[in-house]
Amino acid sequence: MNGETAYYFQHVLLREAAYQLQPPAERTFLHGLALAILRLNPDTAPEDLLDHALECADPGCAGLLRLCVTRARARYDSAAVLRLAAFLPQVNADARTTADILWQQGVALRMQGKQAQARALLELVAAMRGDPELNFVARRAAISIAEADSDAEDYERAESAFVRLLAEARAEGDARNELTLLGNIAITHDVQKRHDQAEREYRDALALARQRGKPREEMALLGNLGRMLLDQSRLAESRQCCEQALALSREVADQRYESFWLGWLASCDVAEGRIQEARAGMNHAMRLARAIGDRLVEANWHAELAELEQRQGNTQAACHALEVAIDMAEQAGAVATGRGWAQRLSELRPQPGG
């Protein structure tokens, strides 16, 4: 114990007992004092400020909570988003902050595969359109719902929603959602094999992202264009797009997208016969997905690795990779995806007596 600076307890129960012996009013005062001191240090994590702000009912609680939730979502830490969002009823948040936290909670539920809960929450936020203060976040919630429809292969419904939302965003000067929607429309056409149309839309959106200085949006558009070009066997163009997207993902420190671009560059390696490089790239992509806890993205790279091993005649390794992918997909709630991989596994697995 150093009396000039702090008290340290070797046993956690002693520390908790000392804390509980403080009268409530004094605890509130001490949390407020700690909050004031920590705010003097610009390097203090918002999460540390939030702990004290909640205990002393600081007026800035709602803003701190929103910041912490946003930071957790940026790390793709869905568990942290849901844990933090549970504090929303305890803070005096205005309508915009409440809507934003609820939207991020819905996105986190989607990431965890809890689609029904996610949709109910996102529909609640999307219904807040009409209030100028809430239109931006309500539109983001509506976009998330349409993205879920696209993931479920209801492309007609998703495209209709994206087109309608794009018209609304442009009418209201919502530049950020406009770029997101342009990319989503291109992706919807891409997955329906309307490649010429999708390529024009990707390139138009890219030009707009660069003009507006939006590196994150530019990164996503480049990577998705690169994947489409890969599907068309335009390998040199695909590699160039994915390498540019990879550099931007590192610039904006987004490990989830970095995992995507590494995996798609590995797919370029496969197409070019660079098998050793492809395995290394896919394993790197898996490690990044695992680091951020995105089981479905990690599962996707296991499934891609299974295809690589199958092409190389390594049936046992391919089966094992698919089994891992199926298990992860089920954990993430991606039932349809897991079912498709299970079908592949049944076709690949050697039959008794075969």
Q: What is the CATH number of the domain that holds 257?
A: 1.25.40.10
Domain match, 286 and 205 both? yes
pLDDT of 19 reads 55
Render 93-124 in DSSP notation, one character per residue. Answer: --HHHHHHHHHHHHHHHHHTT-HHHHHHHHHH
- How many alpha carbons lie under 13 Å from residue 221 in its C-beta half-sphere? 25
Torsion of CA 180, 209, 296, 149, to 10 degrees: 20
Domain match, 238 and 280 both? yes
Average confidence (pLDDT) over 149-156: 90
Please name the amino acid found at residue 261: W
pLDDT of 320 reads 94
Distances, alpha carbon 53 to alpha carbons 58, 59, 84, 105, in Å: 5, 8, 13, 21
**Is 225 within a domain?**
yes
pLDDT of 67 reads 87
The C-alpha atoms of residue 116 and residue 122 are separated, in whole angstroms, by: 10
User: Positive or negative CA dihedral for 175, 180, 184, 190?
Assistant: positive
pLDDT of 21 reads 60
The C-alpha atoms of residue 329 and residue 324 are separated, in whole angstroms, by: 9
157 or 55: which carries more pLDDT confidence? 157
Give me the residues paired with residue 2 across strands: 6
Helices 46-55 and 61-74, packing angle to 10 deg: 150
Domain match, 310 and 237 both? no
pLDDT of 299 reads 93
**Is 107 within a domain?**
no
Domain match, 303 and 260 both? no
Domain match, 206 and 247 both? yes
pLDDT tens profile 65-82: 898 899 889 888 888 899
pLDDT of 3 reads 43
b (16+ CB within 10 A) / e for 226-248: bbbbbeeeeeeebbbbbebbbeb
Task: Please state the domain count of the chain.
Answer: 2
75: number of Cβ within 10 Å: 17
Domain match, 321 and 273 both? no
349 or 119: which carries more pLDDT confidence? 119
**What percent of the chain shows pLDDT beyond 90?**
63
Average model confidence (pLDDT) across the chain: 88
**Is 51 within a domain?**
no
Domain match, 311 and 236 both? no
Give me the residues paired with residue 321 across strands: none
Task: Identify the band that residue 24 occupies on the pLDDT scale cut at 50, 70 and 90.
Answer: low
Average confidence (pLDDT) over 233-247: 97
pLDDT at 279 exceeding the cut of 50? yes
pTM score, whole prediction: 0.79
pLDDT at 241 exceeding the cut of 60? yes
pLDDT tens profile 103-128: 999 999 988 878 899 999 999 999 99
**What percent of the chain shows pLDDT beyond 70?**
89
**Is 30 within a domain?**
no
Q: Is 2 helix (H, G, I), strand (E, B) or coil?
A: strand
Average confidence (pLDDT) over 156-183: 95
Domain match, 200 and 274 both? yes
pLDDT at 4 exceeding the cut of 90? no
The C-alpha atoms of residue 117 and residue 122 are separated, in whole angstroms, by: 9
Domain of 308 in residue numbering reads as 294-329+338-349
Domain match, 267 and 249 both? yes
Give me the residues paired with residue 179 across strands: none
Range from 40-44, 304-308, 338-342 carrying the lowest mean pLDDT: 40-44
**Is 205 within a domain?**
yes
**Encoding tokens for residue 96?**
């915009």
pLDDT of 2 reads 42
Domain match, 208 and 226 both? yes
Residues in the chain: 354
Domain match, 206 and 268 both? yes
Please name the amino acid found at residue 41: N
**Is 245 within a domain?**
yes
**Is 281 within a domain?**
yes
Domain match, 242 and 274 both? yes
Contact 75, 106 (CB under 8 A): no
**Is 325 within a domain?**
yes
